Structure 1
């Protein structure tokens, strides 16, 4: 790839808003005095090479990073299809995902945001000491990606739940593909999760579901525990945080991409002294 193509990929991957060609051209016109034709040629080359793809949202075409090859979704995690020859660098975790219908291949901002927060949390000093003995629960596992990332990062035991038989089938396949069958257990219902056992709960689901699940999450979470929630629209965040704050969970970290938000909420030892929230980064 040439310099321009690298700059295009960087801009699209780092943008907090969806990028169509008009937005892309406006940016490169301002920063590089670039006209439309060379930009079109570079985009065409990236699409043909499988590095970019088009998606349509409400009749508008946007450019996205293609997942037909390896995609870095956080500092230490990259996702790739099984046939990709790309190899993880030292210190990185390589997650193999088959193409399927279940949600969570990394092509949506909510998946990337959840993985980024997991990556940061797992490198926090407190979690580095205890993660090998922790119990993690992934609610609505979809493709199994978050459960697999948790297992690859060294958490002790991972439980993954989904009520969709298609998702369970694909998650089981991806778990086997990544050789984490011993760490990850697939469950059919949250009723199978013991009370007070979960040190970390992951959920990439929509906000109404997260609010509805609050009483059950309170039952399943340990006294000292953290929640990583994604699937939240920016205008829904404060209401969700208020609901969980009343239940004793406080916001520790937030990240966003393209009008989506992911959060870390925590209680117990993660609150710090005198109510001061400690940073996990």
Structure 2
């Protein structure tokens, strides 16, 4: 199988957006670069019309340019090993791939072998979510990770002492990768496939984690609230600092109060609590 390779230069704020959009149309591997991202799609399933629509939509705002090429099937493990660096979130957690050595001095360690660049800890949204998780008592709690990606936030919840963790994603590639990462970190949880409206969630949760994007968060806010116990916590990220007001106003409609916000590289994260 041959792959089409797209070297995409873009502003930093648009890397995660493009990865998400391209994954939705069949791209199956990504590498972040100094200038943007390298994106790869199997040639036989490449949807050029949808690809061009995505590029056109974000081209001006994201200062996007594209260089297209073709390459044979890639040893992605080798590529990740070249490009994936460990992440340090204060002294809370050290996030590494299996080919990195452990490092002392951290309360926790997460091993992630990402098949795509979702949720590796490198992006400001994931970094902030991990940091905020460290400020919430997870011990003995029931936790839900919405749009789990690599499963990194679910794994963090497990390490922080959660009694049970449920997770799901709309992408079967993420589900496969997430389950592999759960195994690497000693979790017996299996990631579900589907949207929050598709998966069959039972009962209430003490903590709900959702690192997705503004539009999805606004649309699903009522569901998040309905899944929380009174005084339960909702941690959100995946949106810009200028979007915080919109998220906070939406959350208020469903009895959720903003307790704390953080910002990194113009990306925001929130801790909300249900009345």
- Larger proportion of helix: 1
What does residue 120 of structure 2 align with?
105
Q: 1:67 to 1:220 in 2, by over 3 A?
A: farther
Shift of 1:253: 0.7
Residues 131-150 of structure 1: pairs in structure 2 closer than 5 A: 131-150=138-157
Is 2:201 aligned against 1:193? yes
- C-alpha root-mean-square deviation of aligned residues, in Å? 2.4
Q: Which has the larger radius of gyration?
A: 1
Question: Residues of 2 paired with 1:18 and 1:120: CA distance?
Answer: 28
Q: Could you tell me how far 1:59 is from its partner in structure 2?
A: 5.5
Post-superposition CA distance 1:172-219 (Å, at most 9, x none): 0100011122xx342224341124x11100000001101110222122
TM-score using structure 1 length: 0.67
Q: What's the CA shift for 1:53?
A: 6.3
Question: TM-score of the superposition, structure 2-length normalised?
Answer: 0.68
State the SS of the aligned residue for 1:192: coil
Match of 2:42 in 1: none
SS of equivalent to 2:179 = helix
Q: Answer yes or no: is the 8 Å Cα contact 1:158–1:185 preserved in 2.
A: no
1:96 aligns with 2:111: yes
Q: Does 1:54 align with 2:38?
A: no
**More strand, by proportion:** 2
Aligned residues between the structures: 203
Distance 1:209 1:177 in 2: 29
Q: Following TM superposition, by how much is the alpha carbon of 1:18 offset from its aligned partner in structure 2, in angstroms?
A: 6.4
Structure 2: gaps (5+ residues): 1-10, 14-31, 37-61, 66-81
Range with greater deviation from structure 2 (237-246 or 99-108): 99-108
Cα distance in 2, alignment partners of residues 207 and 79 from structure 1: 26
User: Aligned to 1:174, which of 175, 178, 181?
Assistant: 181
Q: Which runs of 5+ in 1 are unaligned?
A: 1-16, 20-51, 61-65, 122-126, 269-281
TM-superposed deviation, 1:79: 0.6
Q: Distance in 2 between matches of 1:67 and 1:264?
A: 32
